[in-house]
Amino acid sequence: MAAELHLFVLWEKARFAERRIMDDLRAQADIEIVDVRELAFRGDPAASYKAFYGPKKPLDAALKTRKCGGGPFLLIVVRNLNPTYGSRWARDEKYYIANELMYDLKKRYREWAGRKHRVHGTTSVKESVRDLFLLTGHTAEEWARGVPDGVRLNIPAKAGWRTVVDDKGAELGLAGCRVLQEDRYINDVFFEGRFKGRDAVVKCSSTCAWSVGNEFRLASRLHAAAPPVVPEPLAVWTSDDGRRAFVVTEKVSGPSLTELLAQGVTDAQADGFAADILMLAKALKDTCVLHRDLFADNLLLGQDGHLKAIDWQLAIDRNDYREDPWVAAHPKFLYVVFGVNRDLGLGVWNDFRALVKILGLLPQTEAVRAAASRLADEAPQMTFEARPGGLARLRLRLYAVSLRLQMALRGRKHRKYAQLERRYRTIVGSVAEWEGPNG
């Protein structure tokens, strides 16, 4: 028979037996190891177990998490060269037809890992096709061609958050949540629901959990200083291990400024927006907060006609500068991808400059121009710098090299070329400054 792709998963609590299992697999004449990699759950492990096993059999997900662990687990993709099928004994006390070698190896490894189903393995092609896709986001055909790029656990993060938001949210006062948006760059999922009778948005993150708490703290400070132009943060929750968090914020009902600009903004509206932007700027200055991501997508129109600034996740307190640990560990994200002030150089931010740019998009009424010139006058005092340190610089240089390579491989006509080039120039433009007398 033709070779078949299969997989084993050593859930966290089976990892102590990893060496022994890998040695045994390498010694199998009919097994070729295709790929071995560590994966981590996104969101709540119990809900991910449920999403993974649920369709196959009803599962006590909390018990499964206790027995198998919720930490990083090992995925081993193998090719069985001469598969044979025969009847094997299933848990529901029926015989079924299974891949004999996979069945026997799975049984052996489960014993080595202390039983308790800490090892998962596939025993039919149907099962391996499904599991490969859920665990890696790539189809079996893609795997048959080689190890695909961008392997990523494909159990939807929203499945992981559903139970957390329902349980913990209810304790806080949240009800009736439904998915609003999924898988934005660093956040897992957004829900909308009701919080003590008010419309609310819930932002969930397992990548930058600290920054979610940060959003609650700093947005609360800004809301207190300027209620019309910052939606009220209502509640926040962080898991005991600090790895997951969500923040509940009053929902702003209207469109973003980006959408408003596409529809056409009237002069009277523009005058009102200019006043809102000045109010926001004053509050930022008075509270010593730097938003760092002020652009038209993050300004939403409220029912009261005011523009409101959202997305305070990566805002910082100018007095005690602190980054989210994930953000700090990802210089490429912090300095090159995220932020609206790239033209100022890496690690230089200025909200006033960003607001001047936003004012430039509005109809140029007298009030808009006056606001822009006021902010431009004050902007020089509002600059904040946190330039990359030694290791981050090295990593950014390596990233620049990889960007150069991607540009060369793809060529100018590729749809991503302009983005790659922009990122490349952002880094290269700052290198000269690093090499300067203070660099």
Ligand X SMILES: Nc1ncnc2c1ncn2[C@@H]1O[C@H](COP(=O)(O)OP(=O)(O)O)[C@@H](O)[C@H]1O
Q: Which residues bind Mg ion (CB under 5 A)?
A: 298, 311
Cα radius of gyration rounded to whole Å, the chain = 26
Candidates 36-44, 169-177, 274-282, 295-303; binding stretch for ligand X (CB under 6 A):
295-303
CB of 432 to ligand X, least distance (A): 31
Tell me how crowded residue 416 is: count the other CB atoms within 10 A of its CB. 10
Strand ranges, E, within 83-197: 85-89, 95-99, 119-121, 174-182, 189-195
Amino acid at the residue 210: W
Q: Which of 26, 37, 56, 184 binds ligand X (CB under 6 A)?
A: 184
| Dihedral Cα 352, 353, 357, 363, nearest 10 deg | 50
Residue 178 CB neighbour total at 10 angstroms: 7
| Of the residues 297, 317, 323, 421, which one makes contact with ligand X according to CB under 6 A | 297
Q: Under rule CB under 6 A, which residues in 213-232 are in contact with ligand X?
A: 231
Q: Pick the closer one to Mg ion by CB: 48 or 298.
A: 298
Question: In angstroms, what CA-CA distances link 97 with 82, 84, 131, 213?
Answer: 16, 10, 18, 51
Binding residue (CB under 6 A) for ligand X from 151, 201, 219, 368:
201
Residue 100 and residue 84: Cα distance in Å, rounded?
6
Question: Binding to ligand X by residue 181, rule CB under 6 A?
Answer: yes
Q: Are 393 and 373 in contact (CB under 8 A)?
A: no
Backbone phi and psi for residue 163, each to the nearest 5 degrees, phi listed first: -70, -40
Give min distance, CB of 324 to Mg ion, in A: 15
Query: Which residue has its beta carbon closest to Mg ion?
Result: 311
Q: Is residue 190 involved in binding ligand X (CB under 6 A)? A: yes
> By C-beta, is 78 or 186 nearer to ligand X?
186
To which residue do tokens 């084993």 refer? Answer: 8
* Residue whose entry in the numeric block shows the structure tokens 């200019």: 274
Q: Among candidates 17, 158, 31, 36, which has minimal Cα distance to 82?
A: 31
Q: Nearer Cβ to Mg ion, position 298 or 341?
A: 298
Give how many residues touch ligand X by CB under 6 A.
16
218 token code pair: 């700093």
Residue 188 binds: one of Mg ion, ligand X, none (C-beta under 5 to 8 A by kind)? none
Site for ligand X in 229-248 (CB under 6 A): 231
Nearer to ligand X, 107 or 217 (CB): 217
298-337 binders of ligand X (CB under 6 A): 298, 300, 310-311, 313
Beta carbon nearer to Mg ion, 298 or 430: 298
Using CB under 6 A, list all residues that contact ligand X.
181, 184, 187, 190, 201, 203, 231, 249, 251-252, 297-298, 300, 310-311, 313
